[in-house]
Amino acid sequence: MKRFMLVQHSYSEFLGMIEKQLESRAIGFQYQRPFLGNDLTTSASQHDALWLLGGAYPANDELACPWLPQERQLIANFRKMKRPIVGIGFGGLLLAESAGGIVTDEPYFNTYWTTCHITDAGKDDPLARAVDGKRMLVMINGNASLPDDMPALVVDDNGHWLIARPDDNSYAMLIRPEIKPGMIEDMMMEDNRPLPDNIGEILTQAREHWTQNQKTAADISFALVSALDLMTERHKMPVFNLNVVDKT
């Protein structure tokens, strides 16, 4: 069975609308939740793909996110084994960093709706074509630059990168196709979660774009499955149970 690892960074931010699309393709999920204080595995051998989800803090804030060294090692191990990785929001920043980008904590709140614009580098990319011209939500804290050899496939209204590929097996995305209006409502209810001043406006637009966003999430899921060959099951190392034999 195909099995994906999902790294969840806050209570409210899970795979959302994309989860249903992948479940319909008989894909299983294992959520890792290091924000609860659980150790984050760094092994890539038992999963067919890695998804790095959104988060409430900048991707360089090791005080708020003490598991970041483990997550960086996890990303490195998946890349070394050439297994697919999808980074969304916070996860997209980490994936850009793994390819040589520089993560910053400014602007602290980086939340807005924008139109996606395909670039020359993205004209043949299935994910870039799927979102071109679509109104999408960007919701990150801080930012990340792209290395010189990693062109943007999609940019926002101001020319800032939204989608890039660190390698043939991965996508870094700052757009948030997984977010449902209810997820934003849950973010607003989280204790001590930092939120931008425009969160009410963001929620209103999420409700207005709900019907179109569901279709866009389906299109994005199809593009990711195609571009990253997500329906292929990768070789998994066997898990051994060691039984101690009492010879006394």
pLDDT at 239 over 60: no
Say how far apart CA 53 and CA 177 lie, in whole Å: 11
pLDDT at 233 over 90: no
pLDDT at 157 over 60: yes
- Bridge partners for 138 per DSSP: 112, 175
**pLDDT score at 243:** 54
- Give percent of the chain with pLDDT exceeding 70: 94
**pLDDT score at 163:** 98
Domain boundaries, the chain: 2-227
Residue 143 one-letter amino acid: N
Q: What is the pTM (predicted TM-score) of this model?
A: 0.93
**pLDDT score at 234:** 80
Give the strand pairing for 103-104 and 143-144.
antiparallel
- Bridge partners for 63 per DSSP: none
Q: What are phi and psi of 184, to 5 degrees?
A: -65, -40
Say how far apart CA 90 and CA 10 lie, in whole Å: 11
Smallest CA-to-CA distance from 13 within 202, 223, 178 is with 178
pLDDT at 81 over 60: yes
pLDDT at 229 over 60: yes
- Bridge partners for 164 per DSSP: 152, 172
pLDDT, one tens digit per residue, over 36-50 is 999 999 999 889 999
pLDDT at 221 over 80: yes
pLDDT, one tens digit per residue, over 184-195 is 999 999 999 999
Say how far apart CA 242 and CA 139 lie, in whole Å: 45
**pLDDT score at 64:** 97
Identify each DSSP E strand in 63-185 by its residue range: 85-88, 103-104, 110-115, 117-118, 135-140, 143-144, 152-155, 161-164, 170-173
SS3 content of the chain, % helix, strand, coil (to 5): 30, 20, 50
For tokens 């607003």, the residue is 188
For tokens 């870039």, the residue is 128
Identify each DSSP E strand in the chain by its residue range: 2-7, 27-32, 49-52, 85-88, 103-104, 110-115, 117-118, 135-140, 143-144, 152-155, 161-164, 170-173
pLDDT, one tens digit per residue, over 10-25 is 999 999 999 988 888 8
**pLDDT score at 245:** 53
**pLDDT score at 240:** 47
pLDDT, one tens digit per residue, over 92-151 is 999 999 999 999 999 999 999 999 999 999 999 999 999 999 999 999 999 999 999 999
pLDDT, one tens digit per residue, over 158-191 is 999 999 999 999 999 999 999 999 999 999 999 9
The CATH label, of 3.40.50.880, 1.20.1440.230, 3.40.50.720, 1.20.120.1200, for the domain at 2-227 is 3.40.50.880
